Amino acid sequence: MDKNRQFQLFLLVSVFIVATCGLIYELVAGALASYLLGDSVKQFSFIIGTYLFSMGVGAFFAKFIKKDLINRFIEIELLIGLIGGMSAVILFLLFQKAVHFQIFLYLFVFLTGCLTGMEIPILMNILKNKVSFRNLVSDVFTFDYIGALIASVLFPTLLLPKLGVMGTSLLFGLINILVGISLCIYLHKEIKNPRQLHVKAFLSLAIVLTAFYFSNDILKFTESNLYQSNVIYKHSTPYQRIILTEDQNNYQLYLNNNLQFNTKDEYRYHDLLVHPAMAAAPNVSKVLVLGGGDGLAVREILKYNEVKEVVLVDLDKGMTDLFRTNEILRKHNNNSLNNKKVTIVNDDAFIWAKNNQQKFDVIIIDFPDPSNYSLGKLYSSFFYKTLYQSMTNNAVVTVQSTSPYFAPKSFWCIHKTVEYTYANIVPYHVYVPSFGEWGFSIFSPNPTIHLNKVNRRVDHLKFYKYDLNSYTDFPEDMKAENLELNRLDNQSLVRYFDEEWSKI
C-alpha cells in the first residue's frame, strides 16, 4: 500500500471513530436530559434538532479555515473529546446549582455539533488533492454513516447499561483524544508546531483521564446532592436510571429522578392499589400485574390464599432482577418475585396485551406516571380496549392515576378515558405522605359488579380497612372538566401531565 493510500485510509478510519463519538455525545445529552428533565421524546427531539443545526453551522464556518488544515483538524478532534467527554460530568454538577440548566445543556450540544460539523469539510479539503472527488465524497460519508450506525447500536445495548451516561461520555472523550494523539504521531512531519500540539493533546488527555478515574466519586457526589440521601444502589438499564437511597432505615426508589416509593409509607399506596380490587372481584385465582416491577403489589396479592397464579408484566428486566435478588428489597416485598405462583414476563405491556390470550380475574395496573409518549400510550383508550381480551367476564381492574390534587386534569383524563370503554368505574384517592394525595380508578367490564363490595379480606393490613367509600369523595380543588380522551393519535394526557407537574 503506497503512502498516499495509507494517509487516506488513516484519516478515513479517524472519521469512522469520530463519527461514532459524535453521535454518542448526542445520545448522552438526550439520555441525560430524559433522566433529569423527563419527557424523553421532547428532549431527544430538541437535542437532535439542535445537534443537526449546529453541525450545519460548523460546516458553514469550516470554509473560513484555509491554513494549516491538518493542525486544525487535530485541534478539533481534541476539543470534541474534551467538550463532549466532559459534558456529562459538568452537566450533572450544574443540574442542582444552575437556575437555567437547559441553557448549559444545549450549549454543550451546540458546541459539540459545531465542531463535529467542521470535521468533514476540513477533511475533504485535506484529501482533495490526493483522492478523486467522486471517491472522496463516497468514502468520507460511508465511514461517517457506518460510525453513526455503530454508535446507535452500542449506546442502548452495551454502553448505557454497563457504563452509565457519565462513564460513556468520558470513555468516548478519551477515544476522541487518542485519535487526535494518533494523528499527531502519524502526521508529525506534516503538522506545524508539533510540540505545541502535543502539549494540547496530552493536557486534554490528562483532564479527561482524571475525570474518568474519579467518575464514580463524582457521580456519587452529584447523586447524593440530587437525592439528599445516601445513594446505596445505582444502575442504568436500556430503559431508565434506577437509584435506591437510604435515610434513617427507610429506602426510596427513584426511576429517572422520579420518586416511585418510600418504604416508610408505600403500604398506603399499595393497600389502595390492590385490596379494593381483590375484595370486589368474585374470583381472584388468576391475577395480572402490569408494571409494578418492584414486587410490592404482588406482595399484597399473595396475601390472599385463593390466588393460584400471578403474572407480572414489566418491560425492564433490570428492575425485576433487582427486586428479585437484592436482599434489602426482597425483605420489603416479602420475596414476592421468587414465589412459585409468580411468573415474570419482561415485555412491553402494550404489545403483550395485544398478543395475550389468557384471561384474568383481577388486573392491577401500576405503570409509571405518563410523563412521556411511550408511557402515555399505556393510558390510551386503545390500550384499555385491548386489555378487554385479558379479562374474565367478572374481572375487576385497578389503575394508578397520578395525583388528583397536583394534576387533576391528568387524573380525570385517565378516568374519562377508562370510562369511555368501561362504564362501571369508581374513582378514589388516598393521602400518601411521600407523594401527597394520590388517585386510582377501579372498574369492571361487567356493569353488575359492585366495586365497593367486600367478598374477601385479609387481616392485619397496616392501613386499608376495606372501606372504599371513605376514599371516593373529591373536593372541588381535585376536579377538572372539559377534558379530551387520551388517544394514541393525540396523547392529550402527556400534555396535561407536563403542564400540571411543571408548575410544581
**Residues counted in the chain:** 504
End-to-end Cα, the chain, rounded Å: 65
- Alpha-carbon separation of residue 147 from 6, 27, 300, 338, 492 (angstroms): 20, 14, 49, 42, 37
DSSP-derived 3-state class of residue 405: coil
Q: What share of the chain is helix, strand, coil (3-state, %, to 5)?
A: 60, 15, 25
All 3 cell numbers of residue 79? 476539543
Q: What number of H helices and E strands is found in the chain? A: 17, 11
Q: Report which DSSP code applies to 478.
A: G
Q: Considering Cα of 267, then 271, then 274, then 275, what sign does the dihedral take?
A: positive
Please tell me the number of Cα atoms within 13 Å of 154 on its side-chain side. Answer: 19
Given its phi and psi angles, is residue 144 left (phi above 0), alpha (psi -120 to 50 degrees) or beta? alpha
Instruction: Give the span between the Cα atoms of 447 and 263, in whole angstroms.
Output: 36
In SS3 terms, 330-398 reads as: HHHCCCHHHCCCEEEECCCHHHHHHHCCCCEEEEEEECCCCCCHHHHHHHCHHHHHHHHHHEEEEEEEE
DSSP-derived 3-state class of residue 222: helix
All 3 cell numbers of residue 232? 446505596
Instruction: Give the span between the Cα atoms of 381 and 360, in whole angstroms.
Output: 20
Instruction: Give the span between the Cα atoms of 42 and 3, in whole angstroms.
Output: 48
DSSP-derived 3-state class of residue 37: helix
Q: Is 39 a catalytic residue?
A: no
Q: Which of 366, 467, 477, 498 is catalytic?
A: 366
The residue whose grid cell reads 410490592 is 296
Question: What residues act catalytically?
Answer: 366
